[in-house]
Amino acid sequence: MRSILRWSVKILVSGGLLYWLLSKVDRGQLWKTLQHAAPSWLVLALALYLAVVLISAWRWERLLTAQHVRVTFRHLTASYLVATFFNNFLPSNIGGDVIRIRDTAAATGSRTRAATIVLLDRAIGLIGLVFVAALGATVATELGDREPFNPFWLWLGMTGGAAGVGVVLVYPRVIGALLTPLRIFHQEWVGLQITRLMHALEKFAQAPAVLLQCFLASVVVQAVIVVFYAALARAMHIPVPGVHLCVLIPMSAVVQMLPLSVNGFGLRESVFAFYFARLGLPRESAIALSFLGAALIMLFSISGAVVMAVRKKQ
């Protein structure tokens, strides 16, 4: 019953927001904007998203290396593609993480260790995302533009997140102590998982160079995603400044993480429409850019289904 209620609320939120947004725009103009998207720019956008997957797989490989685990880049790329498919075609993006954990559990020796690596990868990715948004907001403010997101709070959020990850890595026993009450459910098994978690965190703390590489890779990933949307804007002749895309795209991704909608639909479009309105750009352009970006990513993620089918045949 809880699950039904939760998903009913998410569907209502997504459907309600989309209905409200579409009722406030010229749907004919919206469709016209989408129809006139230049195919050459769409092909470039797909190539850019492939680069995002490849860089993300490399970042994952570096974190595995820090744990002295060797997994081929080809295997990780294939796993990331399948995870991308699950993220886009399941009503939650947790499914993709489950795939990645499953695909590296054997190599790492335990699902707990594999999960720790994936969660740290997520955390570093989020820090890089907020860094790009904070940098973009700072530049926009310096240029005198009306920036909806205050750079100070973005820098504060990024610094706080980085500090939190640092504390967890430097003082893993703190996490162990916080998780100790869980031993009540199964003393031996839970104790073993906590020990594995702390050992994994200790190894990461001993590889600061790898963590720095992963952070820089996260920044590059976000920059490429911004260029991905810039290519889509160019395809539809939407005059949105690149510096503002550096803020809009990461912040819309953060909002999509809230468990309030189905895969971010409705929430993402609302953020785009709000931001475009602050820039004096039409809502039709905002919704068109959001829809086209989501559609291309879903189209690209079908490659993950192909990879999954090939795996089953092998």
Please, how many CA atoms are within 13 Å of residue 270, restricted to the half-sphere of its CB? 17
Q: What pLDDT is attached to residue 16?
A: 93
Q: What pLDDT is attached to residue 145?
A: 77
Asked if 35 and 93 count as a contact pair (C-beta separation under 8 A), the reply is: no
Residues 138-163 pLDDT 10s: 999 888 777 788 899 999 999 999 99
Whether the per-residue pLDDT at 93 is higher than 70: the answer is: no
Q: How confident is the model at residue 257 (pLDDT cuts 50, 70, 90)?
A: confident
- Give just the sign of the alpha carbon dihedral 187, 188, 194, 199: positive
| C-alpha span between 50 and 89 (Å, rounded) | 18
131-149 burial, b for 16+ CB within 10 Å, e for fewer?
A: bbbbbbbbbbbeeebebbb
- Give just the sign of the alpha carbon dihedral 140, 144, 149, 155: positive
- Categorise residue 92: left if φ over 0, alpha if ψ from -120 to 50, beta otherwise: beta
Q: What pLDDT is attached to residue 7?
A: 80
CA 308 to chain centre: 21
Main-chain dihedrals φ then ψ at residue 197, nearest 5 degrees: -60, -45
Q: Which run of H or of E encompasses 114?
A: helix 111-142
Residues 271-313 pLDDT 10s: 999 999 989 999 999 999 999 999 999 999 999 999 999 887 7
